[in-house]
Structure 1
Amino acid sequence: MLVQMNWNKLTSDTQLDTIKAESAKQPVLIFKHSTSCSISAMALSRMERNWNDQLGVKPYYLDLLANRPISNKIEHEFGVEHESPQVLLIRNGACVYDASHMGISFAGIQQAV
């Protein structure tokens, strides 16, 4: 049975403070997606097909074409150089895992949690 992933849209840099606060209670995933990139579309599809809410991670989706300045702020706030597509796992206000391009996998996120 396919589980629909419940993305939280990241549309404002002020949400980064919320993400940091939430990450003290549960891990938070940020998925940076370029809607014009086939590799990004494939990584997103793989993530959604393999996602399991039982992991206890709150997922955020960032549309890079619509919100590139937020990605720049993420790079500054968490010290992870921008790539696309890219995932960052935030715990206790810090990035504890990141991956990009074909390195993005649900299994990698599971191990990091």
Structure 2
Amino acid sequence: MSLFNSLFGNSEEKKVTTSKINWIPLTNLDQLNEIVALSNEKPIAIFKHSTRCSISRFALKQFENEYALEDKVDAYFLDLIEYRDVSNEIANRFQVVHQSPQLLLIKNGQSVYDASHDAIDAGDLVERL
């Protein structure tokens, strides 16, 4: 392996990322109806992530490092570049201004908390449960 590859990585190598969060991929509009229904039984977190944004990537990693909610919340992950229609419907349905990155907490069918950028904090999420 060359010095360049050892410093910056090989573009052919696939990075394996692991998370202690059991993310549920949010990929279609029908899931929003499920989220509303499920949120009457258990809080739902939605993390809206832009795969093109370094700030979003940093916020996601920071959130994953701080997260300690295991069974208290079901966590959904939205790639808002790939599923922009779902992101737009989240803003409309839960009456929040679209941000990226953004974290929402859904309880009883409503957004009771949302944060974006550097305000995303797993500790704040715990306080709102």
Q: TM-score, normalised by structure 2?
A: 0.83
Which residue matches 1:46? 62
Higher relative contact order (CA 8 A, sep 6+): 1
Identity of aligned residues (%): 45
User: Is 2:23 the counterpart of 1:13?
Assistant: no
For residue 112 of structure 2, the aligned residue among 93, 96, 100 is 96
Per-residue CA distance 1:60-79 (angstroms, 9 max, x = gap): 00001100110110011100
Distance 1:72 1:111 in 2: 27
Tell me the CA shift for residue 5 of structure 1: 1.0
Unaligned segments of structure 2, at least 5 residues: 1-17
Tell me the residue number matched to 2:5.
none
How many Å apart are 1:53 and its aligned residue? 3.2
Using the TM superposition, give the Cα deviation of residue 85 of structure 1 relative to its aligned residue in structure 2, in angstroms: 0.2
Give the direction of change, closer, same or farther, for the CA distance of 1:85–1:108 in structure 2 (3 Å limit).
Answer: same
* 2:44 alignment counterpart: 28
Can you list the C-alpha shifts for 1:46-104, whole angstroms capped at 9, x where unaligned?
A: 11111113460110000011001101100111000100000010000000000000000
Segments of 4+ moved more than 3 angstroms: none
Give the aligned length.
112
What runs of 5+ residues in structure 1 fail to find an aligned partner? none
Query: C-alpha root-mean-square deviation of aligned residues, in Å?
Result: 1.4
| Length-normalised TM-score, structure 1 | 0.94
**What's the counterpart of residue 85 of structure 1?**
101
Bigger mean CA deviation after superposition, 53-62 or 14-23: 53-62
Contact 2:29 2:89 in 1 (8 A): yes
